């Protein structure tokens, strides 16, 4: 459901409750929890990241062949051993794909956080939009694109290394 809420709306929804909490509990304000700034941006990015990770974890664990699990049980493994030694390694590539999706998505969405005072490269983008200055827009957008590509490449490499050889389909 979080994927259907536009990112700016989610940032906006977090401003009021975090502001109320920071006024009710001044110690929260002292540690940086306010209605605007980094805290609502981080919370929103975490919420947005949950869906791809949870969805891929669920699918990764549900798509396992029951015969493989039964074989582990037949070999005398406990349910915990089956989970740790069979299910997790076989589901890991799909779980990591969810982490990759969430990570790349978060890099892009972090730019929108500039609208609620979180700063970052999004500041350049929104300053450029406000001033109709393409150079400022590119100054923020190009590094974000490169960061997303770097994060994607790193996590794809990790996924390739974490994929059991039997699942790799001859790609290793």
Tell me which CATH homologous superfamily contains domain 2-162.
MetI-like (1.10.3720.10)
Residue 2 scores a pLDDT above 60: no
Average pLDDT, integer, range 21-27? 83
pTM of the complete model beyond 0.85 = no
Residue 1: the pLDDT is 44
Tell which phi-psi region holds residue 32, choosing left (phi > 0), alpha (psi between -120 and 50) or beta: left
d(CA 102, CA 152): 10
pLDDT band at 19 (very low <50, low <70, confident <90, very high): confident
């Amino acid at each position: 459901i979080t994927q259907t809420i536009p990112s700016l709306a989610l940032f906006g929804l977090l401003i009021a409750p975090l502001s109320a909490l920071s006024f009710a509990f001044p110690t929260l304000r002292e540690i940086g929890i306010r209605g605007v700034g980094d805290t609502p941006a981080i919370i929103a990015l975490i919420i947005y990241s949950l869906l791809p990770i949870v969805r891929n974890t669920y699918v990764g664990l549900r798509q396992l062949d029951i015969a493989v699990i039964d074989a582990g049980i037949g070999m005398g493994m406990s349910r915990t051993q089956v989970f740790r030694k069979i299910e997790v390694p076989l589901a890991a590539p799909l779980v990591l794909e969810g982490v990759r999706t969430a990570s790349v998505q978060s890099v892009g969405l972090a730019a929108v956080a500039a609208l609620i005072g979180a700063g970052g490269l999004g500041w350049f983008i929104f300053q450029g939009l406000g001033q109709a200055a393409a150079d400022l827009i590119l100054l923020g957008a190009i590094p974000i694109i490169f960061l997303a590509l770097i994060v994607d490449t790193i996590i794809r490499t990790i996924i390739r290394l974490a994929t059991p050889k039997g699942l790799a389909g001859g790609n290793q």
